[in-house]
């Protein structure tokens, strides 16, 4: 069955809400596309036949990525620079894509990172808790998703079709090492799972993506052992497969994600003991590791 807007869906039971999707000819908007998972997602999406609009602040980097997919003067990748922490800029980017392609079928809000002023301040003997760590990280990881949803939702609802995905993290399940980062990712998980109840009955799919440790510029700053560390290209392939299957949650790698799911429902004293040991070892490893 083909929904309006040229985005084909195959429906299961109505109560399933999320649906399988075909990426061929899909109009995809991808944020945070200049590096890491975002950059890695471009190749498998294009390989599946999608047109991909990529957004990040580094316009030169976006143009370089788009040029890889230009053939005969026609590119399947559209560079749309913008600051995802700026609501007006996000809306402008969405409208630019809609004008170019007539709509957005799949939005993947991937931009994110950690603005951890706390860690730097504590290392320098300053304050161990700074509010700007939280406000800056929430702006990047959470409000960028909020702005993106606001930008794409009206047209998707008008058509009665479309899919919204956002990259959160296994770190959002329960408190762990980086508090500002984990808080923001927990908010994304809550937002996406709540949004589904609002828009799925009106024909839209919603997916929350919870990766574990992935080799990116963000994790390169970590000075502790990261179990089951994945290459960004591997993470991207898993995400695309999950989106094609219409999964409500894409989580990986399985050994770590299922362990984290068990910890999420474990009694707090059990969780506290496990995390206390883990954090003690992580801090000791970080203290012993050479500074980069």
Give the residue numbers spanning the domain of 82.
9-288
pTM of the model: 0.85
Question: Residue 189 in contact with residue 211, Cβ under 8 Å?
Answer: no
- Asked if residue 50 is part of any domain, the answer here is yes
Q: How many whole angstroms separate alpha carbon 1 and alpha carbon 282?
A: 50
- Asked if residue 4 is part of any domain, the answer here is no
Count of domains in the chain? Answer: 1
CATH number for the domain spanning 184: value is 3.40.50.720
- Asked if residue 3 is part of any domain, the answer here is no
- Asked if residue 191 is part of any domain, the answer here is yes
Residue 187: closest CA among 267, 74, 286, 109: 109
- Asked if residue 73 is part of any domain, the answer here is yes
Residue-level pLDDT, tens digit, the chain, 292 residues: 344 444 444 333 444 556 678 899 999 999 999 999 999 999 999 999 999 999 999 999 999 999 999 876 667 999 999 999 999 999 999 999 999 999 999 999 999 988 775 555 444 455 778 889 899 999 999 999 999 999 999 999 999 999 999 999 999 998 877 889 999 999 999 999 999 999 999 999 999 999 988 888 776 676 666 777 899 999 999 999 999 999 999 999 999 999 989 988 999 899 889 888 877 876 776 666 665 4
CB-based contacts of 258: which residues, under 8 Å, 6+ apart?
none
The answer to whether the bond into 239 is cis (omega within 30° of 0) is: no
CA 144 to chain centre: 10
- Asked if residue 40 is part of any domain, the answer here is yes
The residues annotated with a catalytic role in the active site are: 181
- Asked if residue 1 is part of any domain, the answer here is no
- Asked if residue 131 is part of any domain, the answer here is yes
Residue 165: closest CA among 32, 54, 30: 30
């Amino acid at each position: 069955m083909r929904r309006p807007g040229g985005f084909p869906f195959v429906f299961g039971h109505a109560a399933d809400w999320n649906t399988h999707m075909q990426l061929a000819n899909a109009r995809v908007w991808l944020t945070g596309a200049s590096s890491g998972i975002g950059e890695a997602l471009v190749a498998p999406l294009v390989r599946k036949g999608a047109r991909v609009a990529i957004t990040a602040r580094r316009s030169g980097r976006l143009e370089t990525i788009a040029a890889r997919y230009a053939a005969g003067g026609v590119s399947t990748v559209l560079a749309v620079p913008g600051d995802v922490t700026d609501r007006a800029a996000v809306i402008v980017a969405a409208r630019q894509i809609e004008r170019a392609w007539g709509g957005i079928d799949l939005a993947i809000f991937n931009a994110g990172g950690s603005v951890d002023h706390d860690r730097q301040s504590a290392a320098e003997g300053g304050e161990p808790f700074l509010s700007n760590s939280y406000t800056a990280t929430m702006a990047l990881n959470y409000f960028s998703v909020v702005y993106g949803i606001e930008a794409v939702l009206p047209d998707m609802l008008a058509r009665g079709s479309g899919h919204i995905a956002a990259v959160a993290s296994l770190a959002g399940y329960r408190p762990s090492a980086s508090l500002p980062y984990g808080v923001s990712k927990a908010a994304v998980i809550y937002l996406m799972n709540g949004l589904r109840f609002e828009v799925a009955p009106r024909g839209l799919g919603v997916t929350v993506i919870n990766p574990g440790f992935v080799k990116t510029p963000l994790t390169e700053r970590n000075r502790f052992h990261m179990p089951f560390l994945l290459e960004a290209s591997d993470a991207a392939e898993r995400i695309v497969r999950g989106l094609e299957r219409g999964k409500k949650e894409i989580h990986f790698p399985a050994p770590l994600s299922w362990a984290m799911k068990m910890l999420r429902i474990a009694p707090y004293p059990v969780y506290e003991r496990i995390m206390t040991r883990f954090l003690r070892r992580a801090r000791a490893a970080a203290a012993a590791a050479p500074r980069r």
